[in-house]
Protein backbone atom coordinates (compact mmCIF):
# COMPACT_ATOMS: atom_id res chain seq x y z
CA UNK A 1 0.00 0.00 0.00
CA UNK A 2 1.41 3.42 -0.82
CA UNK A 3 -1.35 5.72 0.42
CA UNK A 4 -3.92 5.48 3.20
CA UNK A 5 -6.69 8.10 3.26
CA UNK A 6 -7.01 7.93 7.05
CA UNK A 7 -3.30 8.44 7.71
CA UNK A 8 -2.17 11.93 8.77
CA UNK A 9 1.30 11.35 7.37
CA UNK A 10 -0.16 10.50 3.94
CA UNK A 11 -1.97 13.84 3.94
CA UNK A 12 0.75 16.00 5.43
CA UNK A 13 -1.14 19.28 5.79
CA UNK A 14 0.15 19.77 9.31
CA UNK A 15 3.78 19.20 8.35
CA UNK A 16 6.20 22.08 8.03
CA UNK A 17 8.28 20.83 5.16
CA UNK A 18 11.99 21.64 5.12
CA UNK A 19 13.24 19.36 2.34
CA UNK A 20 12.13 16.35 0.35
CA UNK A 21 13.05 14.01 -2.45
CA UNK A 22 10.96 11.35 -4.15
CA UNK A 23 11.38 8.91 -1.23
CA UNK A 24 11.39 10.91 1.99
CA UNK A 25 10.71 14.30 3.49
CA UNK A 26 12.23 16.20 6.39
CA UNK A 27 9.76 18.17 8.47
CA UNK A 28 9.92 20.44 11.49
CA UNK A 29 8.05 19.37 14.56
CA UNK A 30 6.93 22.47 16.39
CA UNK A 31 6.91 21.06 19.89
CA UNK A 32 7.97 24.14 21.82
CA UNK A 33 9.83 22.44 24.67
CA UNK A 34 12.07 20.62 22.18
CA UNK A 35 13.99 22.96 19.85
CA UNK A 36 15.36 21.45 16.68
CA UNK A 37 13.02 18.46 16.79
CA UNK A 38 12.72 17.03 13.25
CA UNK A 39 10.96 14.11 11.68
CA UNK A 40 11.98 12.12 8.60
CA UNK A 41 8.89 10.68 6.95
CA UNK A 42 8.90 8.03 4.25
CA UNK A 43 6.75 9.30 1.35
CA UNK A 44 4.89 6.01 0.79
CA UNK A 45 2.54 4.54 3.36
CA UNK A 46 4.41 1.57 4.79
CA UNK A 47 4.58 0.60 8.45
CA UNK A 48 7.95 -1.04 9.01
CA UNK A 49 11.58 -0.67 7.96
CA UNK A 50 11.39 -4.11 6.38
CA UNK A 51 8.49 -3.00 4.16
CA UNK A 52 11.03 -1.11 2.05
CA UNK A 53 13.93 -2.64 0.18
CA UNK A 54 17.54 -2.58 1.30
CA UNK A 55 18.55 0.37 -0.89
CA UNK A 56 15.62 2.40 0.38
CA UNK A 57 16.54 1.53 3.96
CA UNK A 58 20.06 2.78 3.30
CA UNK A 59 18.69 5.98 1.79
CA UNK A 60 16.43 6.56 4.80
CA UNK A 61 19.04 5.84 7.45
CA UNK A 62 21.68 7.88 5.61
CA UNK A 63 19.30 10.86 5.77
CA UNK A 64 18.60 10.23 9.48
CA UNK A 65 22.31 10.07 10.32
CA UNK A 66 23.17 13.09 8.17
CA UNK A 67 20.52 15.11 9.97
CA UNK A 68 21.74 13.89 13.34
CA UNK A 69 25.20 15.15 12.33
CA UNK A 70 23.74 18.57 11.47
CA UNK A 71 21.79 18.73 14.72
CA UNK A 72 24.90 17.89 16.75
CA UNK A 73 27.13 20.35 14.93
CA UNK A 74 24.71 23.25 14.92
CA UNK A 75 22.69 22.81 18.12
CA UNK A 76 25.31 21.10 20.32
CA UNK A 77 22.78 19.16 22.41
CA UNK A 78 23.73 16.83 25.26
CA UNK A 79 22.14 13.89 23.42
CA UNK A 80 20.15 13.02 20.30
CA UNK A 81 17.17 10.71 20.63
CA UNK A 82 16.32 8.72 17.51
CA UNK A 83 13.00 6.91 17.61
CA UNK A 84 10.86 5.00 15.16
CA UNK A 85 7.67 4.03 16.92
CA UNK A 86 4.62 4.37 14.70
CA UNK A 87 2.27 2.82 17.22
CA UNK A 88 -0.23 5.64 16.85
CA UNK A 89 0.51 6.45 13.19
CA UNK A 90 1.80 3.30 11.47
CA UNK A 91 3.45 5.19 8.61
CA UNK A 92 7.23 4.82 8.57
CA UNK A 93 8.92 7.84 10.16
CA UNK A 94 11.86 8.65 12.42
CA UNK A 95 11.92 11.21 15.20
CA UNK A 96 15.20 13.12 15.64
CA UNK A 97 15.04 14.88 18.98
CA UNK A 98 17.92 16.93 20.34
CA UNK A 99 17.99 16.72 24.13
CA UNK A 100 19.52 18.87 26.82
CA UNK A 101 19.99 18.08 30.48
CA UNK A 102 17.71 20.98 31.38
CA UNK A 103 14.82 20.07 29.09
CA UNK A 104 11.47 19.22 30.72
CA UNK A 105 11.69 15.42 30.55
CA UNK A 106 15.43 14.74 30.60
CA UNK A 107 16.63 12.02 31.10
CA UNK A 108 13.30 10.36 30.27
CA UNK A 109 11.84 10.08 26.77
CA UNK A 110 10.01 13.24 25.72
CA UNK A 111 6.73 11.31 25.81
CA UNK A 112 7.18 10.33 29.45
CA UNK A 113 5.06 12.02 32.13
CA UNK A 114 6.72 15.11 33.58
CA UNK A 115 8.24 14.31 36.93
CA UNK A 116 10.27 17.42 37.61
CA UNK A 117 9.75 20.66 39.45
CA UNK A 118 7.64 23.04 37.31
CA UNK A 119 10.27 25.74 37.96
CA UNK A 120 12.53 23.78 35.68
CA UNK A 121 10.21 24.66 32.80
CA UNK A 122 10.80 28.36 33.42
CA UNK A 123 14.56 27.96 33.33
CA UNK A 124 14.25 25.88 30.20
CA UNK A 125 12.24 28.63 28.46
CA UNK A 126 15.25 30.95 28.79
CA UNK A 127 17.66 28.32 27.50
CA UNK A 128 15.33 27.58 24.61
CA UNK A 129 15.18 31.24 23.62
CA UNK A 130 18.98 31.30 23.51
CA UNK A 131 18.94 28.29 21.17
CA UNK A 132 16.48 29.85 18.72
CA UNK A 133 19.12 31.32 16.34
CA UNK A 134 20.83 27.93 16.05
CA UNK A 135 17.51 26.21 15.35
CA UNK A 136 16.78 28.76 12.62
CA UNK A 137 20.22 28.09 11.14
CA UNK A 138 19.58 24.33 11.13
CA UNK A 139 16.26 24.85 9.35
CA UNK A 140 17.82 27.23 6.80
CA UNK A 141 20.66 24.82 5.98
CA UNK A 142 18.34 21.84 5.64
CA UNK A 143 15.88 23.74 3.48
CA UNK A 144 18.65 24.99 1.19
CA UNK A 145 20.90 21.92 0.95
CA UNK A 146 19.07 18.89 2.38
CA UNK A 147 20.47 16.30 4.78
CA UNK A 148 23.81 16.02 2.94
CA UNK A 149 24.60 19.71 3.53
CA UNK A 150 28.17 20.72 4.23
CA UNK A 151 28.16 22.72 7.40
CA UNK A 152 29.79 26.11 7.01
CA UNK A 153 32.41 26.61 9.71
CA UNK A 154 31.20 30.04 10.71
CA UNK A 155 29.71 30.21 14.23
CA UNK A 156 26.18 29.49 15.31
ZN1 LIG B 1 0.43 7.05 5.68
Q: Does a cis peptide bond (omega within 30 degrees of 0) precede residue 98?
A: no
Domain contains 4? no
Q: Which residues pair with 98 in a beta bridge?
A: 80
Cα 101 to ligand 1 centre (Å)? 33
Would residue 100 count as lying in a domain? Answer: yes
154 domain-assigned: no
- How wide is the angle at C-alpha 67 spanned by C-alphas 42 and 51, nearest 5°? 25
Output the pLDDT for position 46. 97
3-state DSSP helix/strand/coil % of the chain, to nearest 5: 35, 15, 50
Strands (E), the chain: 16-20, 24-28, 38-42, 79-83, 93-99
Q: How far is the CA of 134 from the centre of ligand 1 (A)?
A: 31
| Assigned domain for 37 exists | yes
Q: Is residue 6 in a domain?
A: no
Q: Which domain holds residue 40?
A: 16-145
Q: What is the pLDDT confidence band of residue 154, given thresholds at 50, 70 and 90? A: low
| Ligand 1 centroid, distance to 130 Cα (angstroms) | 35
Does 1 map to a domain?
no
Q: With cut-offs at 50, 70 and 90, classify the pLDDT of residue 117.
A: confident
For residue 94, the SS3 value is strand
Q: Specify the pTM.
A: 0.92
The pLDDT of residue 116 is 74
For residue 135, report the distance from its CA to the centre of ligand 1, in Å: 27
Rounded mean pLDDT, 69-90? 97
Q: What angle do CA 57, 144, 25 make, to 5 degrees?
A: 30
CATH number assigned to the domain comprising residue 130? 3.30.428.10
Q: Would you say residue 34 lies in a domain?
A: yes
Compute the distance between CA of residue 38 and CA of residue 95 in angstroms, rounded to an integer: 6
Query: How many structural domains comprise the chain?
Result: 1
Longest dimension (CA), the chain: 47
Distance 31 CA to ligand 1 centre (A): 21
Q: Would you call the peptide bond into 107 cis, given omega within 30 degrees of 0 as the criterion?
A: yes
Report yes or no on 24 lying in a domain.
Answer: yes
d(CA 148, CA 128): 26
Amino acid sequence: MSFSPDCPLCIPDHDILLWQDDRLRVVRVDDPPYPGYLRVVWQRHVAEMTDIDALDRLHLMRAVFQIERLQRAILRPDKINLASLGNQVPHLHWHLIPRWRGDPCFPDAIWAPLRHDPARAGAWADARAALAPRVERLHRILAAHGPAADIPDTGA
